Amino acid sequence: MTAMSNYLESNLIQHLFRTATFAKPTVIAIALCSAAPDDTATGALTSLELGNSGSYARQTLNPLDANWANVSAGNGTTSNSSAITFPTATADWGTVTHVAIVDSATYGASNVWAWGSLTVNKVVSNGDVFQFSVNQLSFQIDN
């Protein structure tokens, strides 16, 4: 992941430096996008996220120690400890260029937390399975 949304940045600042609290999400969902979100992106992502057809569905890897690697000392990074496997495409999904972390598995809903570009774009065609292998999706809070 390369960027945090305004939503996440604002809530972290309010939680850490002011009196507001920021609840930990109960759902962490992975959304596949055909273009880059920006700081103002919301969970709607409808112009960026792959179409809601052909068996596409956001996949969850919820906030549990078993699902996400322990933060590496000194670099503020975690990665998926379990594979994140999307359903078999029953139609062409198009080209995946970016991934977004959102707080709902429901297509078109939620808040975007962060996003980043794939190292290599991936065309997902009918019959393909898109997957992040263990440790392939990482999140880093950069300084």
- Residue among 106, 112, 101 nearest 10 (CA): 112
- Express each pLDDT in 30-77 by its tens digit: 999 999 998 888 778 878 999 899 999 999 999 999 999 988 666 788
pLDDT of 1 above 70: no
Q: What pLDDT does 61 receive?
A: 95
Contacting residues for 142 by C-beta, under 8 A, at least 6 apart: 76
| CA gap 78, 85 in Å, rounded | 18
The answer to whether 98 and 41 have CB atoms below 8 angstroms apart is: no
- Distance separating alpha carbons of residues 9 and 63, to the nearest angstrom: 19
How do the domains of the chain map onto residue ranges?
3-140
| Strongest mean pLDDT among 6-20, 44-58, 69-83, 92-106 | 92-106
